[in-house]
Chain A
């Protein structure tokens, strides 16, 4: 499995953000996590990448337990683009990519070469010496995605990577992510754009109140619920 989550529970005070959640993302698959605001998608993801400590449950990344003795090993396998843009504003774009590669264990030489490659791929060469806080919103999204990929992770987790980007860039980002998937990378994506999930994901899971409500291939789900679009399935299973 690319990612296996079993019995995950995360509470914030009285609120149970993730509630005994099970999830299995097959290795090499493109998996979509859908659901309304506050469903617990980001909390689930942050538990996987080591930023949110689970209260209960077990998480495995490509067979490696994400918490406990082998946590470091697991974290090295993951590339993560957070929902909130959080970029180091004291460091120029090129250096931010290089530093990230080195945080994740690349040699300086590899990181430099790979950062150059990422700048080209995401058309950020003109901004290589700019500081992250001076980039436009779309550029920041590209940088976040580039950063997630620098160290060639085998599991890529993208939390609303296309939030707030224009239509053209959205299609560019889709192309990048699809290429990644074609190369065998396991991808977990959250999005509020259902047509995006339908176009990209092999499987989707609908989440609500910290639990997975239903799960399957988009076409299969449409069939199961007699719906014309994934959006109709969404409204049926997690809509208010």
Chain B
């Protein structure tokens, strides 16, 4: 009960402080929200790359190219057979015309070259997605078929992408850490300044017997409020930016499925990012408040 009353008091005092030092609070919130916006952007990139890699790894898409003299019927039979196998989903027979159209869409030059050629040089192919990797050894099954010319799976590409992405993740983590430090430092200093500005009040409070926690806690509340509002603003700002980038720019990159399919962060990530921001507020302000000395 007593604790509950105290807590209400801290919140009220902290809120009063927060609104009283408006310019400083706004400055702090601005810095925090910029950091959090950048962290949101980074997290979105990280989240999408990670998802993409995981999907590629767990549900790889195989492209099976059949020999040039394979007939449409033979191709279709193979596709139907593959569909009956456990662990394989999304079997799609791709006829040469379709392949060419796709190629031309990605690389306009290829379309031009095609016009000068007699007929379509592309073979029939089958695209399939592995649903449960452990269940089936695609290559072994396919090797028995003489009409299969070559099989492409993303595994080699994947390991390269993975090492690239871990290098990028490290870089992102480094920058995020710097941003977090910069924010904590800002909060720390802003709260220091408000403490200095209220030194007179603090001395009076101590002379009438106020406990240190009574004096310090409102500053922590103040920092928490800065972290919370900076975090919410930053997350909104960051996801707004992503939305604009996605709807205005990335949609034009249809031939790069990764970019055109970028999604915004799931809610749990936003909760995490805002909690991070609140933690920065609590940490920075508590450090600053702990330097208030007894009079």
Is A bound to B?
no
Q: CB within 8 Å of A: which residues of B?
A: none
